[in-house]
Structures are given as structure tokens and as C-alpha cells.
């Protein structure tokens, strides 16, 4: 029995043309795979519209959500009319979508009366986009002659009650998913499942976080022991770097889960590492593909690294960073300075993206987003006040406008000299490296450079991938 789970993102269901492409891909894949499940996002822009409606209602605006409701009706009705031209065949779907928009307006009205949108209300409202898109997509598939049924993941994905950031619970999710979907699959029906959403054990609707439909695809794939999970998006796959920075950027044919994790973490927002976990743990291959270029094989993500003769596979950047250096001779051999430093950083909720400390222990430096830099420096000055007074710490120095450039590739683990290739390439372009870090997984090397040097640094390192 071969089983494929395909997830389609917002742009892949963004209008009737995209949904027709989805339907053609589904029909095509049914020639190769015996069973196919489709997981979809809301039509692009819809989740934002729903959230804007909820927030404006909470702030006392009783008209915006009605305008949004009208636009949602129009958007879905236009797509449905094109996908299912036979009005009689479309009526059940159109009624169901209308009811969901009525529900949106009712929920926004209640939020307006309360003057507050609780996380639970926000999830009930933001879940509606996927609940509409599955109905639209299932109707389109049926009209194309592929038997399909819309499924709300509230029936199958059981989550913690953390509204907005819910996490699926096992074994319930696996049991419910299999009980609901396997009978459909056995009867040759394609289940079209909402991404992004789930429900608590008590049935309250939850969401998995923005962009969570990828995660849903992986959860369903794992629960069904799928043979492959395909994430359909609007690019051909994971690129060696941003093609705007380097014209010779290419799609990476095969990448390991660990490399992919580094890439996602370091800003190549293709997939969140959390998304990947359910499929990694089950050893299920994951493929990233383009809805609008279905002939392209995409990028295959596998559990073990595959050597391609190049230790570096990709280069990414994280921009608009600040590097903070805490410096002082008195720090040598004094325990607790690092703990107090990062305690102060954590106290303002800043996320640290990179840390480096030389073994001389005379300084610690770390990189944080630029917009929290002032708050972090202030917290450090307070948290390290006694060290500063004793001159154990001499200086807390922020350096603004820096960029983290990361070279990713599991091949560097066995290959000596990769770091030297990276630094020689940067030196040849006369790029000054401000700080360096290598994760102990040896799957990536990161350097901090000034923002003026960032693009040249990417191009210099990218040349090593070719």
C-alpha cells in the first residue's frame, strides 16, 4: 500500500487557477500512489483578514469585520463559481462557506461586545480560513472527477489547550486520524484536511501557530505512516541561497533533516524545524515542490546526509542584528558572569541567535535582533551593575547593523579545511569577520559581518557550493 500526504500552502489555493493546478496534481499523483491525502492552508491573505477582523472588533470597530466578511464571501464565491460552474453542484459548498462567514461575523460581534479577543476566540476565528478552503478544494476535486471529502482537523488532531501555539497530543491524534481517514482512503476517497488547526480533548478549536499548515501535513503524514510527505509551495524547492543575492542560486536536490533544520533556523523560511520533527521521527521522506511547476522534482529532505562532493550546500543570512560584547579582565575564572549576562537578556525576552566566547574568557559576545538591542543593553547594565562598579566588567558594547551569514552542510563534519575555505573566500573579498561560531553538530559555520559586507559575503561563500 503506497500512501502520499500532500500539503498545499496559501498561494497554492490562492485562487481558482491555483486550485485547478492542485486538482491536476492530485489526479496525476493518484496514478503513482494508491492513497493520497491533501492538507491545505487558507487561501492566501485570508488568515490575516480574519485576524484583522477580530482585532478591529475588539478595539470597538463594529464595521471593519463586516467589510472583511463581505470580501471573504466574494473571494470564495468567485473561486467556487469558476471551479464548479454547475450551480446545483456548488450549492452545498457555497452554503457551508456562507455559514462559516456568518460564524466569523457572529464571533467578531461577540468580541466587540466583550471589548476583548481572548486567545481562544482568536483561534476560533482564525481557524475559519482553512475550514472554508477545504470545502472549496474538495468541491473542485469532485468537479474534476476525483472523489474527495473535506475534513476539519478538529476531528483528528488532538492538541494541548495552548491557544495559538497548540501542540498535538499522542496517541490520541494518531488514533483519531487513522480512524477517520483510513476508511475514506480504503474507499478511494481523497480526504482534504484543514492545515493549521486542531482541537483540545474537550473540543475547543486550537491553532498550531502561524504557518502551521506545514506542521499539520507532517502530523497527518506521521499518523498515517505515509510513504512520503510533499509540501507544495510556490518555489521549486530549497535554494542554495537567495537568488536575489546570487544569480547562480540553484535548487538543492537532496538535503538532510539536520541541514534543513539549520537552514530554517537561519532564516531560509521554507519550513520550520518543528514541522520536520514528526516526519523525521518516523523516517518518512519529505519533498518540497512547486504547485506552479509540477514537473520539477523539488528538494527531497531525508534523514541521513547525502554527500554531493561539496561540504557546503547552502548559505543563508539573518539581517538587522546587533552584536553585544560584554568585556572585562575581571571576568576570567569568575563563575556566573555568563549566567547573569544571559539572565539579563532573557529578562527582556530577547532571543539570542548566536553566542561566542573566547577561551581567554575576557569577553562574551552574542547576537540579538536589532530592535531589542537598547533594552538588552539597559538590562545588562542593571544586571551587571556590581561587576561594572568593581571593574570586573569594563564594557558593554553594542554593535548595530550586523548580519549573521551561515554556511550549512553536513559534509563539513568529515572534511577538514572547510572553515579555512570559508575564511579564505571572505578574505579574498576583503570582508572583515566580526565573530565566528560553529555549532557542535558541525553542520554549519556562522560568521558575523557588517551589513555593508553581507551580500558580498553570501556570494563569496556561495561560490563554494558550486
Which of ligand ASP, Mg ion, none lies near 129, with the C-beta cut-off 5 to 8 A by kind? ligand ASP
Residues 183-222 touching Mg ion, rule: CB under 5 A, are 211
Give whichever of 207 and 317 is closer to ligand ASP, judged by the CB atom.
Answer: 207
In angstroms, what is the minimal distance from the CB of 165 to Mg ion? 16
Q: Which residue has 463594529 as its cell numbers?
A: 62
> Each residue of 450-466: b (16+ CB within 10 Å) or e?
beebbbbbbbbbbbbbe
Element (H or E) spanning 459, and its range? helix 454-462
Give whichever of 7 and 174 is closer to ligand ASP, judged by the CB atom.
Answer: 7
Contact residue for Mg ion among 6, 9, 22, 189 (CB under 5 A): 9
Which three cell numbers, joined as nine digits, stand for 78? Answer: 468567485
Which residues of this chain interact with ligand ASP, rule CB under 6 A? Answer: 9-10, 41-42, 47, 129, 195-196, 210-213
In angstroms, what is the minimal distance from the CB of 307 to ligand ASP? 33
In angstroms, what is the minimal distance from the CB of 209 to ligand ASP? 8
Whole-angstrom Cα distance, residue 152 to residue 199? 10
Whole-angstrom Cα distance, residue 171 to residue 183? 19
Which of ligand ASP, Mg ion, none lies near 411, with the C-beta cut-off 5 to 8 A by kind? none
Give whichever of 10 and 191 is closer to Mg ion, judged by the CB atom.
Answer: 10
Give whichever of 269 and 296 is closer to Mg ion, judged by the CB atom.
Answer: 269
Which of Mg ion, ligand ASP, none lies near 14, with the C-beta cut-off 5 to 8 A by kind? none
Whole-angstrom Cα distance, residue 69 to residue 98? 10
Q: Distance between alpha carbon 373 and the CA centroid of its chain, in Å?
A: 25
Whole-angstrom Cα distance, residue 232 to residue 11? 10
In angstroms, what is the minimal distance from the CB of 134 to ligand ASP? 12
Give whichever of 37 and 331 is closer to ligand ASP, judged by the CB atom.
Answer: 37
Edge-to-edge strand list for the sheet holding 286-290: 148-151, 190-194, 35-40, 3-8, 228-233, 286-290, 299-302, 254-256
Q: Among 336, 337, 349, which Cα is nearest to 379's?
A: 349
In angstroms, what is the minimal distance from the CB of 456 to ligand ASP? 34
Q: Is 168 helix (H, G, I), strand (E, B) or coil?
A: strand
- Residue number, nearest CB to Mg ion: 9
* Cβ–Cβ < 8 Å for 255, 301: yes
| Choices 8-16, 17-25, 277-285, 423-431; region in contact with Mg ion by CB under 5 A | 8-16
| Choices 10-18, 127-135, 186-194, 298-306; region in contact with Mg ion by CB under 5 A | 10-18
Phi first, then psi: give them for residue 312, nearest 5 degrees: -105, 130
Element (H or E) spanning 457, and its range? helix 454-462
Which of ligand ASP, Mg ion, none lies near 291, with the C-beta cut-off 5 to 8 A by kind? none
Give whichever of 43 and 345 is closer to ligand ASP, judged by the CB atom.
Answer: 43
Which of ligand ASP, Mg ion, none lies near 200, with the C-beta cut-off 5 to 8 A by kind? none
List Cα–Cα distances, 407 to 105, 149, 458, 462, 465, in angstroms. Answer: 48, 44, 9, 8, 9
Q: Strand runs (DSSP E) across 346-454, as ranges? A: 354-357, 363-369, 395-408, 435-438, 444-450
Which of ligand ASP, Mg ion, none lies near 212, with the C-beta cut-off 5 to 8 A by kind? ligand ASP
Element (H or E) spanning 289, and its range? strand 286-290
Total residues interacting with Mg ion, rule: CB under 5 A: 4
| Choices 9-17, 26-34, 99-107, 456-464; region in contact with Mg ion by CB under 5 A | 9-17
Which of Mg ion, ligand ASP, none lies near 11, with the C-beta cut-off 5 to 8 A by kind? none
In angstroms, what is the minimal distance from the CB of 367 to Mg ion? 27
In angstroms, what is the minimal distance from the CB of 220 to Mg ion? 16
In angstroms, what is the minimal distance from the CB of 422 to ligand ASP? 34
Give the footprint of Mg ion on this chain (CB under 5 A). 9-10, 41, 211
Amino acid at each position: 500500500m503506497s500512501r502520499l500526504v500532500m500539503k498545499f500552502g496559501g498561494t497554492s489555493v490562492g485562487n481558482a487557477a491555483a486550485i485547478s493546478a492542485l486538482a491536476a496534481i492530485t489526479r496525476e499523483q493518484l496514478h503513482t500512489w494508491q492513497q493520497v491525502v491533501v492538507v491545505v492552508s487558507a487561501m492566501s491573505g485570508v488568515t490575516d483578514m480574519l485576524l484583522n477582523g477580530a482585532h478591529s472588533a475588539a478595539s470597538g470597530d463594529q464595521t471593519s469585520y463586516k467589510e472583511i466578511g463581505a470580501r471573504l464571501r466574494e473571494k470564495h464565491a468567485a473561486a467556487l463559481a469558476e471551479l464548479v460552474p454547475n450551480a446545483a453542484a456548488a450549492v452545498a459548498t457555497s452554503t457551508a462557506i456562507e455559514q462559516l462567514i456568518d460564524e466569523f461575523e457572529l464571533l467578531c460581534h461577540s468580541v466587540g461586545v466583550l471589548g476583548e479577543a481572548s486567545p481562544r476566540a482568536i483561534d476560533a476565528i482564525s481557524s475559519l480560513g482553512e475550514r472554508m478552503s477545504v470545502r472549496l478544494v474538495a468541491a473542485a476535486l469532485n468537479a474534476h472527477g476525483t472523489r474527495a471529502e473535506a475534513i476539519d482537523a478538529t476531528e483528528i488532531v488532538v492538541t494541548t489547550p495552548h491557544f495559538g501555539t497548540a501542540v498535538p497530543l499522542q496517541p490520541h491524534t494518531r488514533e483519531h486520524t487513522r480512524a477517520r481517514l483510513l476508511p475514506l482512503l480504503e474507499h478511494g476517497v481523497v480526504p482534504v484536511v484543514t492545515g493549521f488547526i486542531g482541537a483540545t480533548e474537550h473540543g475547543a478549536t486550537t491553532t498550531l501557530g502561524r504557518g502551521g499548515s506545514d506542521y499539520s501535513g507532517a502530523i497527518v503524514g506521521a499518523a498515517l505512516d505515509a510513504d512520503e510527505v510533499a509540501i507544495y509551495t510556490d518555489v521549486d524547492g530549497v535554494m542554495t541561497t537567495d537568488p536575489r543575492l546570487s544569480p547562480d542560486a540553484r535548487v538543492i536536490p537532496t538535503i538532510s533533516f539536520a541541514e534543513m533544520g539549520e537552514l530554517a533556523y537561519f532564516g531560509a523560511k521554507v519550513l520550520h524545524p518543528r514541522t520536520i520533527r514528526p516526519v523525521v521521527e518516523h523516517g518518512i521522506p519529505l519533498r518540497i515542490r512547486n504547485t506552479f511547476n509540477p514537473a520539477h522534482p523539488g528538494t527531497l529532505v531525508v534523514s541521513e546526509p547525502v554527500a554531493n562532493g561539496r561540504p557546503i550546500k547552502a548559505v543563508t543570512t539573518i539581517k538587522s542584528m546587533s552584536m553585544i560584547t560584554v568585556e572585562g579582565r575581571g571576568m576570567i575564572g569568575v563563575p556566573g558572569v555568563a549566567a547573569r549576562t544571559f539572565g539579563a537578556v532573557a529578562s527582556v525576552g530577547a532571543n539570542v541567535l548566536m553566542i561566542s566566547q573566547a577561551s581567554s574568557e575576557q569577553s562574551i559576545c552574542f547576537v540579538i535582533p536589532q530592535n531589542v538591542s537598547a533594552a538588552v543593553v539597559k538590562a545588562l547594565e542593571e544586571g551587571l551593575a556590581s561587576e561594572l562598579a568593581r571593574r570586573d566588567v569594563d564594557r558593554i558594547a553594542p554593535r548595530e547593523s550586523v548580519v549573521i551569514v551561515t554556511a550549512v552542510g553536513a559534509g563539513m563534519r568529515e572534511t577538514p579545511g572547510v572553515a579555512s575555505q570559508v575564511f579564505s573566500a571572505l578574505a579574498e573579498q576583503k570582508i572583515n569577520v566580526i565573530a565566528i561560531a560553529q555549532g557542535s553538530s558541525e553542520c554549519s559555520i556562522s560568521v558575523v559581518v557588517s551589513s555593508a559586507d553581507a551580500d558580498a559575503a553570501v556570494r563569496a561563500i556561495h561560490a563554494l557550493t558550486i
